Structure 1
């Protein structure tokens, strides 16, 4: 298709998908990139440089297609999320973005959420693992190696709510009290009301992705994290539907924790994934006290936000934490952190989270060799104590680098390791 204000690279091929929504990736793909707002102007180009080097070192080439959202889109299109950007992300299947800021009164609750919904990127995946040399608040950060699968379109991110003081919220309140019989739940006076939808469809496709990932990556377990002891018909249903997927769709490849103990005395079959569940508040404790006992976590949206950030704290914070949004035959990688506008353009902040988000993108493209090079080069750079200011201030005898200098150091190590 034609684009209004963006240029499609003259070289390179499109990523395609087969009938099973599996990506078919050429050695010279066109990949859209949104640098992002705030510090995105620094970390976006830094990540782009490292990912380009990883492709080059493994005999491939990425043809970057710059597209726009947020502040850069307002300057170019006078809108936050132009159709050019949506269509490019749809057409070319695999993409990466930096952090975006949603201005007050701009029409979207969140540009990030809008992108996920428009592209049906229903899973937010956040691998959390420790890199040698990164300071951590825990004694054994190397035990943290979890991958969070967070539902991306339902739960609180559905955004169904009514503001206190409006006619609409009063109608909802009266309906809940008079028609549904909850007359002793909502206090008198000002009240805001929200609806939390969790569907069988949304739950099952998320849990399938989590189990498929665990099987493909040789992980031992998938844990369904929920608050079903209280919210029985939403988060409790998430748990039940997740177990249905495990029992009905995977045969001997998957075993539930109950079956494991009732029939096998806790000894899992070889190459099988164990599916279990944990209450969300207890899981926040267990990621600290039993860190090495968990692999893949699958959960509704809000739980996933809390848990993934708590996991990230154990490996050095959100400056290190990568993420990506996954749909059927589509990937949009993005770091977990925000846009931090006060540091914009200072060539100062840590680009590791966006670089490692690109690593997830490379993995989903099937470029595992390039993905491994990215991780190893980032880790070697940190071990060498060549780091940005956030880590330098915590590490003795470290060399403080600018964002761009850090990216260059990672590239140098990448070619040395290739």
Structure 2
């Protein structure tokens, strides 16, 4: 193992290795962990404790290695995203991360986006599903069981924009108006929205691969875009997605047109169906035809909107997990923010952080461990021993602290292990 200046490598455990395009997972891996800012100080310790307990109860163990980003990095290194942190994730392959706040003047539009882009974690994968016992605004929240694959490096999140009135802004507007025949007002801010064939195809491959690996559960991969308006970016995303499906997965995939024109709507057991929907339509389809969708593949901005909307149907962002995946490396993180006013009060819900760890367990192939974890979480919610955010939505419950909720999950593992 390499040595680090500020990072202490645990004396026990082994590295996860990326070899021959495959992760080699030891029984007791060393996993880097960024605590995070704000309520990261509460949810990250809770998540680490629960995940380690689940691992130990299923014949494994996890050895956590603290690494730094955000406020903790600035305190330790004098910068918010040190190279040593990125190097540690590159070497140890996966990491668990708490929420981060990007400070004003920090040098990044977003620390979260910077980590994804610098490590080329091009796929944001967000499973959205209902946990029994959690209140929901929907009549049948259990119908929601989707996995959203959101492109992570391009679109408006690439950060290419020019402020109104700046010289570069004026140059761009003058060029577009004079040379390209547009009529952009001079008082406009300008941004560029790149969507490339390469990035689109590698994202869609991830989505189709995931569907094929789980074909006993999922049958559809839906390309979500606004191609009727933005034909050469989002329309191209749709076209490139279909091209991947047809040229690279022809034996395993059929399109929706083929399904109805040649098969009368009957899906063969060994096939995945690839279809597409407009992004605005998809937002209402989430509500009106929830159970008809499995895997969604989207450009960056669409995926942000859609994953948050889907999470709202099953309880909200506080319980929503997330992951950022590249080739042989990944960072797992909750989708919620830092909520600084609750930091250090042992109050907030750690479910989003814990379920992000559940994706990590699935990613490294610990199926028995992730199933035990989900059962224990659901039992805790069904017992109505919940943190304040859920307590205020239910009758007859018991309000517990963040750390107490984590301990109850661990206790409830005994019912299933």
TM interval, short-chain normalised = over 0.9
| SS of alignment partner, residue 334 of structure 2 | coil
Give 1:315-334 correspondences, 5 Å limit.
315-334=314-333
Alpha-carbon distance, 1:411 to partner = 0.6
Match of 1:222 in 2: 221
Match of 2:145 in 1: 145
Separation (CA, whole Å) in 1 of partners of 2:63 and 2:108: 30
| SS of alignment partner, residue 377 of structure 1 | helix
Q: Does 1:197 align with 2:194?
A: yes
Query: After superposition, what is the alpha-carbon deviation per residue over 1:291-326, rounded to whole angstroms, capped at 9, x for unaligned?
Result: 000000000000000000000000000111101000
Separation (CA, whole Å) in 1 of partners of 2:291 and 2:188: 43
Separation (CA, whole Å) in 2 of partners of 1:141 and 1:170: 49
Match of 1:64 in 2: 64
Match of 2:400 in 1: 401
Separation (CA, whole Å) in 1 of partners of 2:400 and 2:333: 23
Give 1:9-158 correspondences, 5 Å limit.
9-20=10-21, 22-158=22-158
Query: After superposition, what is the alpha-carbon deviation per residue over 1:361-390, rounded to whole angstroms, capped at 9, x for unaligned?
Result: 000000011111111111110001110000
Runs of 5+ consecutive residues of structure 2 not aligned to the other structure: none
Query: After superposition, what is the alpha-carbon deviation per residue over 1:223-264, rounded to whole angstroms, capped at 9, x for unaligned?
Result: 000000000000000000000000000122110101111111
| SS of alignment partner, residue 278 of structure 1 | strand
Alpha-carbon distance, 1:415 to partner = 3.0
Alpha-carbon distance, 1:96 to partner = 0.6
Separation (CA, whole Å) in 1 of partners of 2:118 and 2:400: 38
Separation (CA, whole Å) in 2 of partners of 1:415 and 1:123: 35
Give 1:3-14 correspondences, 5 Å limit.
3-14=4-15
| Count of residue pairs the alignment pairs up | 414
Query: After superposition, what is the alpha-carbon deviation per residue over 1:338-374, rounded to whole angstroms, capped at 9, x for unaligned?
Result: 1111110000000000000000000000001111111
RMSD (Å) for aligned C-alpha atoms: 0.8
Query: After superposition, what is the alpha-carbon deviation per residue over 1:137-173, rounded to whole angstroms, capped at 9, x for unaligned?
Result: 1111000001100000000111000001100000000
Alpha-carbon distance, 1:416 to partner = 2.8
| SS of alignment partner, residue 69 of structure 2 | coil
| SS of alignment partner, residue 201 of structure 1 | helix
Alpha-carbon distance, 1:77 to partner = 1.1
TM-score calculated relative to the size of structure 2: 0.98
Separation (CA, whole Å) in 2 of partners of 1:270 and 1:64: 41
Separation (CA, whole Å) in 2 of partners of 1:339 and 1:271: 43
| SS of alignment partner, residue 242 of structure 1 | helix
Alpha-carbon distance, 1:75 to partner = 1.0
| SS of alignment partner, residue 96 of structure 2 | strand
Separation (CA, whole Å) in 1 of partners of 2:269 and 2:365: 25
TM-score calculated relative to the size of structure 1: 0.98
Separation (CA, whole Å) in 1 of partners of 2:322 and 2:414: 25
Alpha-carbon distance, 1:187 to partner = 2.2
Match of 1:257 in 2: 256
| SS of alignment partner, residue 86 of structure 2 | helix
Alpha-carbon distance, 1:83 to partner = 1.6
Separation (CA, whole Å) in 2 of partners of 1:417 and 1:263: 46
Separation (CA, whole Å) in 2 of partners of 1:417 and 1:179: 68
Separation (CA, whole Å) in 2 of partners of 1:315 and 1:217: 22
